[in-house]
């Protein structure tokens, strides 16, 4: 079994688990990130997800980064200026970052290591919602 197929299998298992709990939808787009800037001034570990036409931000609990309290529910159709880093350095070493504005507030996330498939899905969902 290759490393990639093992990673895909683990992502699918977590996606199914969290979809069954209602934290994301059947696209299974849910992953850990570091919130560098949120509108309320908070920062730290979060779980971000897609659920229907919403971009969801949960608090991340403990060292296992389990989804906790719902922090933000943002309509994909109101997200503007989505930008993300790309390239091998982001995939392997430092993790991807992404940012956007919604309802006049700025959101900045980082440390999305090896999450290119999830970021592709977020970017596509935002584009489809506009």
CATH code of the domain covering residue 31: 2.30.29.30
**Sheet containing 96-102: order of strands:** 66-75, 54-61, 44-51, 30-37, 105-112, 96-102, 79-84
pLDDT greater than 80 at residue 122: yes
- What is the band of 25 on the pLDDT scale with cuts at 50, 70, 90? very high
Cα 112 from Cα 60, distance rounded (Å):
14
- What is the band of 1 on the pLDDT scale with cuts at 50, 70, 90? very low
Cα 122 from Cα 42, distance rounded (Å):
22
Which comes out higher in pLDDT, residue 36 or 90? 36
pLDDT greater than 70 at residue 94: no
Question: What local confidence, expressed as pLDDT, does residue 92 receive?
Answer: 62
Question: What local confidence, expressed as pLDDT, does residue 4 receive?
Answer: 55
- What is the band of 95 on the pLDDT scale with cuts at 50, 70, 90? confident
**Residue for token pair 């970021």:** 119
Instruction: Output DSSP code: residue 76.
Output: G
Question: What local confidence, expressed as pLDDT, does residue 47 receive?
Answer: 94
pLDDT greater than 80 at residue 101: yes
Contacts of 95 (CB under 8 A, 6+ apart): 110, 111, 112, 113, 114, 115
Cα 66 from Cα 47, distance rounded (Å):
8
Q: In the structure encoding, which two tokens stand for residue 110, read together?
A: 């980082």
Q: Is 58 helix (H, G, I), strand (E, B) or coil?
A: strand
pLDDT greater than 60 at residue 3: no
Share of the chain above pLDDT 70, in %: 87
Domain span holding position 94: 3-129
- Please give the tally of structural domains in the chain: 1
pLDDT greater than 80 at residue 7: no
């Amino acid at each position: 079994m290759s490393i990639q197929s093992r990673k895909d299998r683990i992502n699918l298992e977590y996606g199914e688990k969290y979809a069954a709990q209602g934290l994301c939808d059947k696209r299974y787009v849910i992953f850990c990130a570091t919130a560098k800037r949120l509108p309320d001034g908070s920062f730290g570990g979060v779980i971000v997800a897609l659920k229907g036409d919403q971009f969801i931000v949960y608090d991340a609990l403990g060292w296992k980064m389990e989804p906790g309290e719902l922090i933000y529910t943002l309509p994909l159709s109101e997200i503007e200026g989505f930008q993300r880093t790309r390239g091998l350095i982001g995939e392997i070493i430092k993790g991807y970052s992404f940012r956007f504005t919604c309802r006049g507030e700025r959101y900045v996330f980082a440390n999305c290591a090896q999450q290119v498939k999830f970021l592709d899905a977020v970017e596509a969902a935002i584009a489809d919602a506009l």
